[in-house]
Structure 1
Amino acid sequence: MIQHARRLFLSLGLATAMALGSASAPAMAQVPYLSLIPQNSSKYAAIVVDAKTGEVLYGKRADAPRYPASITKVMTLYLAFEALAAGKIELDDPVVFSPRAAAQSPTKLGVRAGDSITVMQAMQGMVTRSANDASVAMAEKLGGTEQRFATLMTLRAHELGMTNTNFTNANGLPDSRNISSARDLAILSRAVMRDYPQYYRLFSTKSFNFRGQTIGNHNHMLSEVSGVDGLKTGFTNASGFNIAISGVRDNRRLIVVVLGGPNRITRDRVAESLLNTGFEVLDRRARGEQITVAQNFFEPPQLAQATQPSMQQGDTDLGLSIQLASSPPPSRASKIQIVEPSTVPKLNGKAKASAGGRWTIQVGAFKNRSDAREQLSLVEKKFGKHVDDAKAVAEKDNGRYTARFSGMNETEAKNACKAIKAKKQPCVVMAPGRG
């Protein structure tokens, strides 16, 4: 009955729009569940993306900063997939739980400090139970420390085109600096299935057996909605109920991200409505209809009015405007090298001594030294007043060349990165000993 009503709403919306205008007039698609979002919600953001073309079919506050919560783990898993594909780790390698990893807040697997599980079990735990302890243990295995791994996460995110994202931990537990956006999380979701299709299927795991217990997946849409085969849910009090999903129907794939739902049921139903509507539009296009999707899907006027005053930086939604943006696939950027703790590089003595400071900023990682030097020259040219007194270093790091400015104090490093990131350039502050 619900499915019938949803199709009826959509059909009426499309028919009305086409009756009122030419064949190329935008068609309005009705998504009734959006009315369930509280009228005073300042957390809601969403996006629907065609996974093949990158076309944005719908966006509501798509670039507004939001707390990703446990969707953060998708980036942790992306870097784990990268390490697996590069042969740096194997699925049956041990992941040892440090006291810090074991002490993480629930939800978690509950592995004791000093104990270990396999890489595969750690990844399954992250996907299903959203295990915070397994996320930190994996981060420590791949990056040496969670702090350094979070730096690698942010660098990789920027390489993928996630310009509004900054990671400070591997699991998404509350931290006001751990931020992303609906668009960035869609980019990440698309990158996972594009770059590592052999591992993407892990996100469709409905349950797995771990030490005598069956652990179910928090993502109920895997069982409830036709075609959905991933990705991840998330929740904190600050973020609300988040989800990033992907589904396939008739050989077409969509990605849907919904952030800030008031509860799990509403979040899931909104995501399902957006997914169904997106597939309806693609199906009608395939039959030759020239239609688009309304920017607000006939959202209740009171919702649009209530949310406008609380828009945050990066929110480009214009209420009832109609917009169909095209988002090209992010470029296939260079891979960040994941290193074991024993090989984490340290700043050399010369870099530490220069300019009277021990802080460093990293502005990129490249396949060859010439590209790293070119990036250093670009930053020096555009942001000279922030890096003039620093030492520019194109440093080899496990087969990669990092572009860094060292010898800064804490204030100089943070101010420099703030200015560089404001121009959508990658930059990460590295405290003494983090490099």
Structure 2
Amino acid sequence: MSNPLPLIQRVFAALVLLVLLAGCSTTTPPDSVLAVPAPAQKYAAIVVDARTGKQLFEVSSTAQRYPASLTKMMTLYLLFEALESGRVSKQTQIPVSDNAASQPPTKLRFRRGESIDVDSAIRAIVVKSANDVAVAVGEYLGGSEVQFAATMTSRARQLGMTSTIFRNASGLPDDGQMTTARDMAVLGMALHQRFPQQFHYFSESDFMFRGRLVRGHNDMLGRVRGVDGIKTGYIRASGFNIVTSYNADGRNLIVVVMGADSARQRNDHVEALIQRSLSPTMDGAKTRLMFAEQ
């Protein structure tokens, strides 16, 4: 068993780790409690009503965090813009450079001189979170990944993402690549509102590529009725991140959770936040803080 944290760390962690009483649900007892034992320097969350922009819940939502593969949401935003403008079509072939092919997994694994069509590239980024494909898209649209990252940051500012800096197209580790839960919620809403005709990609959990079924790892799809995307992410420095869109029964929520210790814990927390936000007694929901030993 690990040694207890020093008292000051325990107290500080308790201020950001919350336990939520789930709302009415057939899968979770009404009086059940969900703990999120994430380190204070990693955890952040926000729930926004995407129809009104009203913030329904937040913890550390403007604190700097590493986006990990949530970065690819902006890579896709710029690719969708290129589709909309006619700069590319879904049949356009994107060459995969040696640099792109050399990226660490997850990836599709290309050989020298190969390419991928835009439609497959979108699916590969959404479903597989393929780093090689994200870099190839960045190089194709930006001339270089460095220039593409500068465009990503510029577009983030235009969207109102005031605290985000992008350094690459994939979300692979870079100490200078930072964001906030709030900014990721802004980007999630922008993708939904600006590109409704493309948003269906985010609900796909697998796709066929070169005769092989490629499966994804967004387990929120199919787990909660109404969830229709968007993107997961993980690097060691960030913990387990997710942006989730809920759209059912006249309600549209964007839920962001960053810094969880596992995918399962992250998904449990997202589900609890959705239930809490949909509950008619949400304003009176019992919320208490609790320390969970690391």
Q: CA deviation at 1:3?
A: 3.6
Q: CA deviation at 1:293?
A: 6.7
* Aligned equivalents of 1:300, 1:165: Cα separation in 2: 29
In terms of fraction of residues, the more helix-rich structure is 1
Trace 1:100-111 onto structure 2 (pairs within 5 A): 100-111=99-110
Please say if residues 139 and 146 of structure 1, whose CA atoms lie closer than 8 Å, have aligned partners that are also in contact: yes
* Aligned equivalents of 2:60, 2:36: Cα separation in 1: 17
Please say if residues 188 and 243 of structure 2, whose CA atoms lie closer than 8 Å, have aligned partners that are also in contact: yes
Q: CA deviation at 1:36?
A: 3.7
**Aligned pair 1:37/2:37, yes or no?**
yes
Trace 1:57-96 onto structure 2 (pairs within 5 A): 57-96=56-95
**Aligned pair 1:203/2:208, yes or no?**
no
Q: CA deviation at 1:301?
A: 3.7
How many residue pairs end up in the alignment?
272
Trace 1:3-402 onto structure 2 (pairs within 5 A): 3-4=25-26, 6=28, 8-9=30-31, 32-33=33-34, 35-38=35-38, 40-281=39-280, 292=283, 298-302=287-291
Please say if residues 57 and 293 of structure 1, whose CA atoms lie closer than 8 Å, have aligned partners that are also in contact: no
Q: CA deviation at 1:217?
A: 1.7
Q: RMSD of the alignment, in Å?
A: 2.0
Secondary structure of 1:254's counterpart equals: strand
* Aligned equivalents of 2:245, 2:51: Cα separation in 1: 12
Q: CA deviation at 1:4?
A: 4.2
Secondary structure of 1:247's counterpart equals: strand
Q: CA deviation at 1:112?
A: 1.7
Structure 1 unpaired stretches of 5+: 10-30, 285-290, 308-435
Percent identity, aligned pairs only?
44
Secondary structure of 1:172's counterpart equals: coil
* Aligned equivalents of 2:122, 2:225: Cα separation in 1: 24
Secondary structure of 2:111's counterpart equals: coil
Q: Deviations over 1:339-386 (max 9, x none)?
A: xxxxxxxxxxxxxxxxxxxxxxxxxxxxxxxxxxxxxxxxxxxxxxxx
- The aligned amino acid for 1:32 is V
Please say if residues 72 and 171 of structure 1, whose CA atoms lie closer than 8 Å, have aligned partners that are also in contact: yes
* Aligned equivalents of 1:165, 1:67: Cα separation in 2: 10
* Aligned equivalents of 2:168, 2:204: Cα separation in 1: 24
Q: CA deviation at 1:270?
A: 0.2
Q: Which residue of 2 aligns with 1:13?
A: none
- The aligned amino acid for 1:92 is Q
Please say if residues 69 and 173 of structure 1, whose CA atoms lie closer than 8 Å, have aligned partners that are also in contact: yes
The structure number with the bigger radius of gyration is 1
Secondary structure of 1:149's counterpart equals: helix
TM-score, normalised to structure 2, is 0.88
TM-score, normalised to structure 1, is 0.60
Please say if residues 58 and 293 of structure 1, whose CA atoms lie closer than 8 Å, have aligned partners that are also in contact: no
Q: CA deviation at 1:201?
A: 1.0
